[in-house]
Structure 1
Amino acid sequence: MERLTERTAVGILVKENYEKETLKTLYSCYGGKPNPHYTNCEEGYCAMEKLADYEDAEEQGLLLRLPCGIGADVYSIPSKTNFLLNLLNRHEEENRVFHQTVDRIIFKKCGWYMECDSDLKYGTGRILLDTSYGVTWFLTRAEAEAKLKEMEEASDFSE
């Protein structure tokens, strides 16, 4: 994502109306000192400094934006390969939406993944990978059902 702030020798510059290239306006924030152009910059508090700190952390890989948190409801479906195998092996009942609740989020060097309560209780092996978000697991049942329907329509084996 494009930064909204820029650190300079004189302070922090903030881009306003950054969606419209021609309307970029910059204001400086001088280390928490009052700024006549920015009302949230007084008494040692500056929203621009906080935003710049978050953007710096994100660039350094220290800030991670997750699609949901622990305790969230998620909905998973079989992968495309498993979907087709279920059809071939006459296990169509497995081609459905599975409701789960996030129990753990594990961070690894190569990314992150989530384990859900049913994974831990029944050993289902349905670990939710970061790269599978929006492919085999979703935040709403409607999204999962839509993706499942898309797979059914694309399948040569459906009746």
Structure 2
Amino acid sequence: MERLTKWEDGSITYNEKRELECGEYCDSCSQGAGICKTVENMIKKLATYEDAEEHGSIVRLPCKVGDTVWDNDFGYPESYEIKAFSYGYCDSYVEPDIEDQIIFYYENYSGSITGAFPMSELGKTVFLTHEEAEKKLEQLKNEI
């Protein structure tokens, strides 16, 4: 990961290789990038995110609430809508034995939470597209 900001003597600066034009960020700015509080705040916020990313504090989720995922139920792809996610332990009434992972909860066509899966199952048993689910189902049929 290439940082766009850097720390020097306790201050945050942006990478000098990039040209920073104040007009790209502010309408009708007359101050210039050197004394612009908006650009300064943007750089500070970006530096905070870059620090968090370097320390492994940012998780990039492969899907979000409202997305459709596909599971091969009973020999054909079935769609489910992601309703929530959490980290930690999944109550056994939904799905047993999921601990210390990001867990996605999904609902069926009637709107009931019908299951959950850990993020580690994406691409193995749960898929982000119908085509990926069909491809995996075909692969499993060929292995029999």
Q: Relative to structure 1, is the Cα distance of residues 104 and 132 closer, same or farther in structure 2, using a 3 angstrom cutoff? A: same
1:43 alignment partner in structure 2: 36
Q: What's the Cα RMSD here?
A: 2.8
Is 1:106 aligned with 2:99?
A: no
1:22 alignment partner in structure 2: none
Deviation of 1:4 (Å)? 2.1
| Structure 2, unaligned runs of 5 or more | 23-32, 89-98
Pairs aligned (count): 118
Once residues 130 and 122 of structure 1 are traced to their aligned partners in structure 2, the CA distance between those partners, rounded to angstroms, is: 17
TM-score, reference length from structure 1: 0.60
Deviation of 1:66 (Å)? 0.8
1:83 alignment partner in structure 2: none
Q: Relative to structure 1, is the Cα distance of residues 151 and 12 closer, same or farther in structure 2, using a 3 angstrom cutoff? A: farther
Q: Please identify runs of 4+ aligned residues in structure 1 that moved more than 6 A.
A: none
8 Å Cα contact 2:12-2:44 kept in structure 1: no
TM-score, reference length from structure 2: 0.65
Deviation of 1:52 (Å)? 2.0
2:26 alignment partner in structure 1: none
| Structure 1, unaligned runs of 5 or more | 15-24, 28-36, 79-93
2:129 alignment partner in structure 1: 140
Counterpart amino acid of residue 75 in structure 1: W
Counterpart amino acid of residue 147 in structure 1: K
